Structure 1
């Protein structure tokens, strides 16, 4: 027992400093893209042609944009763009409250707006979430699990995942929502007491991702829960735990 305690003391503090300090990412991390159509060669659409999810909009035009809700952050578009009109930064701030806010142009940060004052009063101190894997590949699910480990420690902000929707304040949806999961997702949502939140995590849950044209998927949480608004979109394939934390804390009004 003494040896275990000595080992733990020597291990030191492992929890990241975020949000009180800058987060650290591996060199391979790809965050928010920057679009500079002025660098485009006339008629060039190499970036769009390389994109597996058609996330590049209006390639080569002044209105060129990247739809983060479809983007897999694979980097193929940047690699296929010799003039450098499209590149990825290490900006982890990707979550948004509105689907249209995920369409990025230029070099502007994506910052999720906070809930209104009444909703922050209800959820601001303690948020319980029920995660629903609706035909996900386990990538986004693994990153959500990671938010609760010793490095990211989601619980220090009063946010926890619970086993039952009846104990939850909202649901977190991952995966493109297959036809076999549509009813289960709807029933899970309906079992959450009102007022309730819906959070879509990952490209699949936002737009269907690489599966969006498949006849056996709904194309994401918003399409599957027709008539039910999504309160927070967290893009990525999968999103980094810091991106998830940033979105949740901004939703709760804890980040300016």
Structure 2
């Protein structure tokens, strides 16, 4: 549990933070790890994503290769996809989102459990891609908040895994007070059709 010094080893101990402990920690004698509850919960959360794939276009093929055995999403904590948004906390938006699909995406996002994260997969989800026209949403961040952007047409599996590692770093630093508990559902800003 720390470095001990000679005769003082029974009463004084240097703990990992660098301070000397005379308190009840000495009774544990290295048999327990002391941490904050929030740090322990965040450690568990960053290795247990329950993802919901919202796949709409050609990046779906690359998503399947990332989820396969060669790249093994399971070792990063994102094992099996959930097919109900109420059981998911990571929304992976893969591909182009049209204005007709936008209300469905927002509804899926609103049904997810808190805390929830969004992963924009592919340049079409990030910025609309080369579909710069009236029918395509120019980036899903105009509809829902996005935590990680992974550009590419389609993005390489290594980029997706790097994005997942970035999301794990973000989750590890989150505080419970940052969660929008009881927040109002997101409403899409849709264009009115004439």
Unmatched 5+ stretches in structure 2: 1-37, 171-194
Contact 1:162 1:168 in 2 (8 A): yes
Aligned residue for 2:146, secondary structure, equals coil
- Residue of structure 1 aligned with 2:105, choices 178, 182, 185: 185
Contact 1:204 1:210 in 2 (8 A): yes
What are the residue-to-residue correspondences of 1:29-108 with 2, within 5 Å? none
Alignment correspondent of 2:126: 206
Alignment correspondent of 1:222: 141
Q: 1:143 to 1:117 in 2, by over 3 A?
A: farther
- Residue of structure 2 aligned with 1:127, choices 9, 26, 49: 49
Alignment correspondent of 1:97: none
**4+ residue segments displaced more than 4 Å:** 116-119
Please give the root-mean-square deviation of Cα atoms over the aligned residues, in Å.
Answer: 2.2
Aligned residue for 2:106, secondary structure, equals helix
What are the residue-to-residue correspondences of 1:229-244 with 2, within 5 Å? 229-244=145-160
Alignment correspondent of 1:172: 92
Distance in 1 between residues matched to 2:137 and 2:39, nearest whole Å? 33
Alignment correspondent of 2:73: 154
| Structure ranking higher in helix proportion | 2
**How many residues align structurally?**
132
Alignment correspondent of 1:144: 63
Work out which of the two has the higher radius of gyration on C-alpha atoms and give 1 or 2: 2
Unmatched 5+ stretches in structure 1: 1-115
Deviation at 1:206, TM superposition (A): 0.5
| TM-score, length-scaled by structure 1 | 0.48
Deviation at 1:221, TM superposition (A): 1.0
Aligned residue for 1:209, secondary structure, equals coil
Q: 1:118 to 1:186 in 2, by over 3 A?
A: farther
Contact 1:203 1:237 in 2 (8 A): yes
Contact 2:148 2:166 in 1 (8 A): no
| TM-score, length-scaled by structure 2 | 0.62
Which moved further from structure 2: 237-246 or 119-128?
119-128
